[in-house]
Amino acid sequence: MTDLMPMFINNCRFILILGLTIGVMANSGHYKTMLIGDRAATMGGAFTAISDDPSGVYFNPAGIVYMPGNTMSGSANTFYQSSVSFKDAIGSLDWDREGMSMMPTFFSLLNRINDQWVWGLSYVVPNASIEHQQSMYQTLTNSNNMYILNVHEEDIRQYVGPSIAWAPTKTLSLGMTVYYYHHDRKLQSNQYISDVSDRIQLWKTNDQIMTINGITPVLGVMWSPFDHWSIGASARKTIDIGSNKKQNAIQFEPSDSSTIGGQIQSSELNYWEPTPTQYTVGVAYFPSPFVIFSMDAEAYLMDDPNYKNVLNLSVGCEWFFNQTQAIRLGVYTNNSAIPEPTNTSTSRRRIDLVGYSLGYSIYQSNNSITFGVNYATGYGKAQVYEDSTIINVERMDMSLLVAASFSM
Amino acid sequence: MFHLRRVEYLFKWRRMIQNRGVSIFIALVSCVGIVAQPVWSESMQLFRHRASTGTESNQWHVPSEIMVGRELANQFLSRYPLVNNAMIQSYVNRLGQGIVAMVGRSDIRYYFAVIDADHVNAYALPGGYVLVTSAMIDACKNEAQLVGVLAHELSHINRRYIVETYKIGTVSNGFFGEASVMIGGGMQTSRIGLSQLSNQIMQELLETGLDAKEELAADAEAVLFMQILGYDVGQYRELLLSFGHHKDSSRVSNTHPKIDQRLVVIQETNTKGMIGRDRFNAHVHQ
């Protein structure tokens, strides 16, 4: 307790003087928040060398030319929950943030033109989170009576667009998807601190609306040099076509015991959120109609010096234990692009996650239903005050999905 | 200064590579793929097929097949009513059931009926429904010829031609099938509505005709069935010849291959397909 006291007092002092920095909770520098599809989502996202079903348009459009049949469609609904806990951020109390969403995250339709050409259309939501927090803390220190913290954040990213795939030879295919990208983020926060005499010590509100529009082409190639083996690769980069950010911020601080001084800031500006150029390479082994093993390596290269390049790995397997039922397993990393907090940085939050996926599918003639769960967890460091104080942070993501697919 | 310049140089190269990375990357991989063509893999990546593709021929097909057949039968009967002659209906049905007892499928019930239509034809619908036009009955000179017609249609049903062609089996698959439809948000893109499906099949039956190979295969199987049942195959041949010489050719449906082709198949099957001939000769006339 004695060892914790200086930290406790320091934490409270910073909160009570300046409040917490309410940064983005969801998808803080992560690129695999929600896995897409039915088979892919339950194989840890290791799908670049497979991609022979409707979710292939997102992972590697070259693979859709190998879909069985002439028409295929797929959709998924996902319940997603993310919990982040900043340890001892408010005195000896943890600051817990939780976001969740329940929505359709994927729909795709594929249609075969002939043996060599397939086209598709898809809608993908790789990230959707809504956080609503109402917290009140009392008597954090002898001079403090009340600290109120309210946060509401909505963060949704969406892709929609067509795909085309071409197989010039029996073992090689090329594909492209062109997505329209839309990212909508709203953040409202309110912090109120009063002293034991109920006088306002600090009142901060912040209202941000950010809208990003872009075009994201996805290029893919798939090659099967040997029977039962497949190698896939894809590349994508989001190009800005128009974005803006509006912000209203109000901060009141008492200049002395009897008056309150404040500043109001309002701004609207063109804003572009840095996005990486993503390269993915995958390999898959199909030893029999009952088993697949696959592995992906994804590199995210950032131009912006405020972000790090990221390497994510994923492995997955699919096992049909009879003709009508299959289970899938996957393990994946979801590393952060935010650099490690340092003594000279502020407002950085870096958590590297490791995820596990599990799925079960039932097949009947030309349709299937899949139930899946993904769980990711990780520890890291964060800076939640106006200065460079570093604290521990823990994050847990979980998603439950129900998906269906049809083919003919 | 030198170190700074080196860093700037590397940073500039990194940015250039990133900016052009997509096109260079894809071009390189494509070139490797085109140049390094394997010579041992001729399959269209059949290794990708999952075990679930085997579910195409599973227990769920039969109820769906019967449902589609019933819908088609309804459509036929709305166009061509049943002949109002109980004696002939009973006779054709008993004849058909006799053939079924020897060579029919065990997983469905068969129904035989005569419809009032002035074109010479017969129709095999999925699920065991066989419809013979009154004009076809008129064209038959004896029971052997009628048995040949019924055996030909039975062959189509036994071979599940329409079931396999239209992949019938997803119309109603129980709880999980319906659940997958609901989760799919009603976007039943791989399921053609029952009425649309039956319209397509009707068009094939009434206008374009079945695949020529399928018709010839049904002729061959009809010959075998007639041999099993003890009927003179020559009468089936005579019936087909009479179609070619029919004084009113417009009454003869053009949904089948040319008569000459059919006669060749019948002749070949009748010669080869004398059941057990080689076996008999091998044991008796050794």
Helix axes B212-229, B233-244, angle to 10 degrees: 140
CA distance A128 to A157: 6
Residue of A nearest to B29 (CA): A221
Q: Which of residues 240-279 of A touch B (CB under 8 A)?
A: 277, 279
CB contact under 8 A, A326 and B51: yes
**Residue whose token pair is 């085309």:** A164
Q: How confident is the model at residue B147 (pLDDT cuts 50, 70, 90)?
A: very high
Which letter, b or e, does each residue of B5-22 get, where b requires 16 or more Cβ atoms within 10 Å of its Cβ? Answer: eeeeeeeeeeeeebeebb
Within an 8 Å CB–CB cutoff, is residue A172 touching chain B?
yes
B181 contacts in chain A (CB < 8 Å)? 367, 404
Within an 8 Å CB–CB cutoff, is residue A365 touching chain B?
yes
Q: Which of B26, B45, B55 sits opposite A324 (nearest CB)?
A: B55
Strand partners, A80: A101, A399
Q: What DSSP assignment string belongs to A133-190?
A: EEEEEE-SSTTEEEEEEEEEEEEEEEEEEEEEEE-SSSSEEEEEEEEEEEEEEEEEEE
Q: What is the pLDDT of residues A210-237, one digit of tens each?
A: 899 999 999 999 999 998 999 999 999 9
CB contact under 8 A, A364 and B185: no
pLDDT at B101: 93
CB contact under 8 A, A367 and B42: no
Instruction: Read off the pLDDT of each residue in A32-40 and give the average, rounded to a whole number.
Output: 91
Instruction: List the single range of A201-205, B82-86, B179-183 with lowest mean pLDDT.
Output: B179-183
CB contact under 8 A, A221 and B47: no
Cα torsion B150, B152, B156, B159 to 10°: value is: 110
A162: tokens are 């067509």
Within an 8 Å CB–CB cutoff, is residue A280 touching chain B?
no
Q: How confident is the model at residue A361 (pLDDT cuts 50, 70, 90)?
A: very high
3-class DSSP assignment, residue A327: strand
B62 contacts in chain A (CB < 8 Å)? none
Q: Which of B22, B60, B189 sits opposite A364 (nearest CB)?
A: B60
pLDDT at A18: 58
Tell me the nearest-neighbour CA distance from A247 into chain B, angstroms: 31
Indicate which of A60, A73, A178, A367 best probes the interface with B, i.e. most B CBs within 10 Å of its own CB: A367
Strand partners, A374: A357, A399
CB contact under 8 A, A221 and B54: no
Q: What is the pTM of this model?
A: 0.66
CA distance B169 to B166: 9
Q: What is the pLDDT of residues A283-294, one digit of tens each?
A: 999 999 899 999
Alpha carbon B55 to its chain's center: 17
3-class DSSP assignment, residue A261: strand
Which letter, b or e, does each residue of A235-255 get, where b requires 16 or more Cβ atoms within 10 Å of its Cβ? Answer: bbbbebeebebebeeebbbbe
